[in-house]
Structures are given as C-alpha cells and as structure tokens.
Structure 1
C-alpha cells in the first residue's frame, strides 16, 4: 500500500537528521552542566516520568493507528475506483451498440462514442486527483524542512501541470469550459456522463437495461468520490494531534533531568570495581537520551505526516500513479496505438505519486 517502493535506513536518518542533532545537543548540554556543577542539579524521580512516558506512548499509538486507518481507507476507496473504472470500460465497450438506433449510428460513430465515454472518465480521474492534491489549512507536511526536501525531490504531477492543461485532451472545448466553471469539477464531469448516456438511450444506442447498468456504475463513482472527499476535507481531530505533539516535547525536555542523574548514580556504583568506567559512565546518558527522544518524536512525526493520505508524501496513497494506470488500461482496451498512450509517471527516489 505504501508508495515508498523501497525502504532505506539512510533515508530515515536523513529525514530526522535535524531532530537527532537537536536531541543530542540538548542531552549533551544537560549532562555537561550536571558534571560541571559537581552533580548539584535538578533531579526528577524516575517513577513520575515513567508514568508520563507511558501516557505519551499511548497517545502516539492512538494517533498512529488513526493515521494508518485513514491511509488504509483511502487506499480501499481508490482500489474501488480501479475496479469500477475497468467495469466502466467493459460495459461501454459491450453495451453501447448501433443495433437499436434505427440507422442513427454506424460502427464507426459508435466506436467514437465509446472513446468519448472512456476519455471523459479519464477526465474525471484527473479532476479528482487534482482535487485531492489541493492544499488544506490543516495539512502540515510542507511545514517541516526535511518534508519540503522530499517534496522537491518527488514528482507530484498535480504541482507541475494545471487541471485545465491536463483536461484539454480528454474533453471537448465546450465540455472543458463547462467543467472549469463549476466548483466541483469531478462532479460536473459525472453529470456530463449521465446526460450523455441518457441521450444515447433516447437515440437507441443504449437499451434501457444497459442504461441502468451504466447509471449504477456512475452512482458508484459518486459514492467513491464522496468517500475520498470525506477523508480529504475532514482532518484528524486537531486537539489530539496538537496535544500529542506538545506532550511528546514535554517528555523529551524532561527526560534528561531524570536520566543523567540516574546514570551518574550507576557510575558511582561501578567506580568501586571499575574506576575508569564509573567516572565516565554518566556520559553514556547522552546517546541514551537522544535515542529515546528520537524514537518518541519520530513515531509522533510519522503519525502526523500520515494523517492526510493525499498530501503527496512518500507514504501517501499514490493517486496519480493509480489514475495513470487506469488510463493506460482503458486506452489499451480501446486498441489505441501504444505510442499514443502516455507512460506511467516516473518513480523518483523510489516514490510513487
């Protein structure tokens, strides 16, 4: 499901390098001050901090489960779009026929109509993916410097070409003007599809049962579009996300105040039999504090970037790739020349978009 094709520990280290540096620097400062102050230092007991850490872990776990649930639901929705798009292509190919048109249509004109219906559906996919990529106020992925680096290295088609440019080849000039004049472009395209197949029914290119079958498929497209819009337009509750972020930082800032003195006490006990190791054991609290802080913060950050599965991050649903794959399938079913069918969007840094 994840759009990141291959996982690399180097990439994770690069993604979190600034936090790692900050946590290490902070722990070093606390430990240095503790040693220079001759162990006279504010000392937090372990028990209360452990309770705080447990509570924070539950909050992070809840956030990550909720974020994964949103990603998985979005992937199922777009999986439904894939299946129903293939059904649409199959039914338009087999149900739109000239048999009952009383000479209004011949085989050549019917073939053209099938092409129009399929191309209009590709236009719907294009409008929907552009809609899902629109920026919302609560989407915070691009606010972090390393996330912006990933975006700059990724190929997000909706940020490269405009919707009107992408729709030109799939809609007539009149239809394009109509669609662009509406607020919800994807919905407008589905209305055009419904009007067209009603006209085909009235002119005999579709018999009534076939018309109902195609209307049912359009109805399913409306349902899937609405479900996708629901995830896009309803954010993960901000009170949970904000409080979780604050609690993680409170825990990270307090953690060295309990860890450094604890390592110092362990060092004193070690010094009885191992003087050298006991003297410098307190400095091991630095990597320990940095590691614990990195784990808590990284898990919270993963949940944060996974809240909105259409932003365009490396772990989002690859709606651009899915849409282009559907287009390739449908146009191949129309027996178009392979050179005329566009290729799949490139995977830059092993990321599908």
Structure 2
C-alpha cells in the first residue's frame, strides 16, 4: 500500500497518460472538422452534454464510494485478524501448559494467515493488476506470494507432514483449521486444557473462520460487472461528446477578444476538453484501482507486511527477538 503523504501530480499524470493521449485525439478531431472543414453542423447542444455529464458524475461517484467501501471493509477484516492473532498467541502461551504444544498451535495460526494471503493474492479474471498502467509500478514493490512458493514459507510454521496434508487438500485453509481444532480437542481430552479455556480458544477458531469467509467474499465477488461496464460507457461517451458541445461556446468568444486569438478561440476547446475529460477518466481509473483490495496493486491492503509484522511480534512473545528477514529489504513489501 502506498503510504506517502500524497501522490505527486507527475506520478498521477504518468499513470493516466494513455488516457490523456486518447483524450487529445478525441479533442483534436472535432476542432479540425469544425475549423478547417467548416462542418458547423457537428455541434452538439450544450444542455444535452451537461445533462450527460451530471449523470456520469453520479455514476462515477457511486462506483468510487462502493469500491472504497470494499477496501475499507478489507482493512477492517485484516485489522481484526491481526489483533486476534496477537490474542491467540498470548492465550496459547498462557493457557497451554506444554510450551512446545503451545508454540506449535500458535505457529499453525501463522501458517493459516500465510495460506490465506496466498489465496487472496491469486489472480481472478476481473482484476486489474495486469493492465499496462499498473504493471509499470511492479518494479517499485514486491509481492512475496508471487516470488516464493507457499510450501517454502510454510516450513517456518508447521511440520513437513502437515505441509503435505495442507498442500494436497482441496481446501488448505479448512485443513489447517481442522488441525487446530483437533489439537485443542486432544489437549482437552488429556486434561492439559480446562473447559473454559478450551471453549475460549475454540471461539477464536470460529471467529477466524468467519473472518476468512469475509475476506473470500471480497476476493471472489467483484464489484458488479454491470455497474462497472455502465460506468465506463458513460465516462467515455461524455468524453467523446464534450468537445462537440464546446465548439459553439468557444467560437462565440471571438466576438469579445482581440489580438492573436481573434477568430481562433475554438482551438481552446482542445485543452479545456482534455482537462474536464481527464477528471472523469481519472476518477474512473482511481475507482478501478480500488475495486480489488487483495490483487497486489500499490493501493491494496498490505497483507504481506501485516503478516510479517505479526510474526515478528509473536516471535518476540516466545523470546525470539530476531526479526523475520524480508524478501528484499530494499523494496516495499505489499
């Protein structure tokens, strides 16, 4: 996730430059037809385009609000997971008498977080990470789930036998939850965990399962495609018609100006049309970049970094103050 104070305007223009080139073409063609070929009948009445612009603004605003809500919900879900993982590690350490078993169960929760983030980083057909203007930023940050195999990472948390069970399972996350539940039942049966503490830990397993389902809901159910499609159509229809509506308005300014611009005011349609259209297309692109908070873009929830931080905290609880090494300490980890 980008955590700077603000994006520079140069970065934003670079990110949206392809739209700017297209908008330049869309703005130039009507002016050339109007000014050089005298096709004055191409003018579109301004009220029609103004009405379309208002409708487009509502549609774009609706999309951005909904996609922002998806990201906000994802942030809340992972904040809960991290907070509960801290509590889980402390309860394992303090509730379970056998230190090795306690450490094993606490580490298995880190394995669950790892498998979950790998699942959330897997690609979906509707995601936007592979679009050209997003791929350009891939050199500035690291997505660990795309660089290291899941089985390699799991070796830090669970045994080879459990890794094989998890990797080969149709649903690795459910397999890990099942292993956790089985471990708690075993401790309860042997008297190492009293009923009150057993039920408290098991309640956390249910909460983890619920948070997993909420994450999967955001990952597997995209922003409705019908809304996304209508939004894109409205934006580009408005951008296409806007310069045609501005021709007559700017041509009328010739009556009031003097000097070099006298008789040539219509050429100002090009920059002003581009600026207004760029606002709409940029808002659309911003909303698009916020649709999928787990796809691995610079505007995502930084689940890899969050998992690394919670692992360091839990290791410190068990007396290991050596921090986890990052994949590449010179690059940002998402």
The two structures have a TM-score, normalised by structure 1, of: 0.90
Number of equivalent positions? 333
Match of 1:132 in 2: 120
Q: Distance between the aligned counterparts of 1:95 and 1:240, measured in 2?
A: 50
The alpha-carbon distance between structure 1 residues 346 and 299, as it changes in their structure 2 partners (threshold 3 A), is farther
The corresponding residue for 2:195 is 208
Please list, as runs of the form range in 1=range in 2, the aligned pairs for 1:89-104 lying within 5 A after superposition.
89-97=89-97
Question: What is the aligned-residue RMSD (CA, Å)?
Answer: 1.7
Change (3 A) 1:345 1:89: farther
Structure 1 runs (4+) deviating above 4 angstroms are 343-347
Take 2:292 and 2:199, find their aligned partners in 1: how far apart are those partners? 35
**What residue number does 1:232 align with?**
219
Q: Does 1:276 align with 2:275?
A: no
Compute the displacement of 1:344 (Å).
8.2
2:289 counterpart (287, 305, 312): 305
What is the correspondence of 1:62-211 to structure 2 with a 5 Å cutoff?
62-97=62-97, 110-142=98-130, 144-211=131-198
Whether the 8 Å CA contact 1:133–1:310 is kept in 2: the answer is yes
Contact 1:141 1:311 in 2 (8 A): yes
Q: Distance in 2 between matches of 1:167 and 1:197?
A: 21
Is the Cα contact below 8 Å between 1:155 and 1:347 reproduced in 2? no
Which residue of 212, 229, 244 maps to 1:257?
Answer: 244
Q: Residues 288 and 346 from structure 1, CA distance in 2 versus in 1: closer, same or farther, beyond 3 angstroms?
A: farther
Kept in 2: contact 1:321–1:345 (CA 8 A): no
Q: Output one character per residue of 1:201-242: Cα deviation in whole Å (capped at 9) or x when no partner.
A: 222221221111111111110111111111111111110001
CA 1:140–1:343: 2 relative to 1, 3 Å: closer
SS in 2 for 1:279: coil
| CA shift in 2, pair 1:342/1:223, >3 Å | same
C-alpha spacing 1:113/1:5, structure 2 compared with 1 (3 Å): farther
* Structure 2 portions without partners, runs of 5+: none
Alpha-carbon shift at residue 20 of structure 1 (Å): 1.1
CA contact (8 A) 1:89 1:330 kept: yes
Deviations 1:148-189 (A, max 9, x none): 112343211111112112112211111111111112212211
Structure 1 alignment gaps of length 5 or more:
98-109
1:59 aligns with 2:47: no
CA distance in 2, matches of 1:22, 1:207: 68
1:338 matched to 2:322? The reply is yes
- Alignment TM-score, normalising by the size of structure 2: 0.95
Q: Distance in 2 between matches of 1:261 and 1:154?
A: 48
Quote the Cα distance in structure 2 between the aligned partners of 1:298 and 1:179. Answer: 43
What is aligned with 1:103?
Answer: none
How many angstroms apart in 2 are the aligned matches of 1:346 and 1:317?
A: 19
Pairwise CA distance, 1:111: 2.1
The alpha-carbon deviation at position 277 of structure 1 amounts to 2.8
